[in-house]
Structure 1
């Protein structure tokens, strides 16, 4: 039988280096286009709160959503993955 843990007890794992590279590069690209997170929300339909979590490395993101965000800021996805 598995013990259930309270959510307050669950430790957050640190974000992977790769996730943080994407987060930093995406935020930089968004700001270079003078876009707000709300602008990205309007273009992609992704919640502004989730975009914020992606930019800080707090939220996991799949490759398909990375591609959508890259397209929103007119930067090839591969560039957002370069350290």
Structure 2
């Protein structure tokens, strides 16, 4: 029986894309958190997808990265960047 890929939730897509975009910009979590005005521990939880994020925080992170917010919720935007 072939494996079917589980579709990701919006939170998981955002988390994955945020982490990938941060790594592409060669930023640490600490640097991004500081630029966005959020605690580093909060950013870590967002990147792991263990916490819901407000639209205001999502916008602050996207602005700090210089990436449009819509790109962070696009499932195909950063596909393949750090996948095995």
State the distance in 2 between where 1:20 and 1:51 align.
14
Q: Does 2:18 correspond to 1:34?
A: no
State the Cα distance separating 1:45 from its structure 2 match: 2.1
State the Cα distance separating 1:23 from its structure 2 match: 0.3
Q: Does 2:1 correspond to 1:21?
A: no
Count of residue correspondences: 68
Q: Does 2:41 correspond to 1:63?
A: no
State the Cα distance separating 1:42 from its structure 2 match: 1.8
Match of 1:53 in 2: 45
TM-score, structure 1 length as denominator? 0.77
Runs of 4+ residues over 6 Å off in structure 1: none
Q: Which runs of 5+ in 2 are unaligned?
A: 1-7, 76-84
Give secondary structure in 2 for the equivalent of 1:60: coil
State the Cα distance separating 1:68 from its structure 2 match: 0.6
State the distance in 2 between where 1:58 and 1:42 align.
20
State the Cα distance separating 1:35 from its structure 2 match: 0.3
